Amino acid sequence: MGIEAEMPSPARSLSNREVLLGTSFLDPNDLTLLRDLALFRDGLDVEQDRKNLNQFGTVADRGWNLASSMLESKAALLQRCREFARQAGIAIRVASNSWRKKNQDSNAKYACKVLKGQQQLVSGTKQQCPFFINVYGYKGNWKITKMCVVHDHYRNAGFQGEVFVEGQLSDNLERTCSEHQHV
| Widest pairwise Cα distance in the chain | 75
Q: What is the pLDDT of residue 168?
A: 52
Q: What is the pLDDT of residue 172?
A: 55
Q: What is the pLDDT of residue 178?
A: 52
Q: What is the pLDDT of residue 23?
A: 63
From first to last of its 183 residues, what are the pLDDT tens digits of the chain? 454 444 444 444 445 544 445 567 888 899 999 999 999 999 998 988 877 778 888 999 999 999 999 999 999 999 999 999 999 988 899 999 998 988 889 999 999 887 655 555 455 555 678 899 999 999 889 999 999 998 887 777 655 444 344 545 455 555 545 555 554
Q: What is the pLDDT of residue 9?
A: 43
Residues with Cβ within 8 Å of 41's Cβ and at least 6 positions away in sequence, in order, are: 35, 65, 66, 67, 68
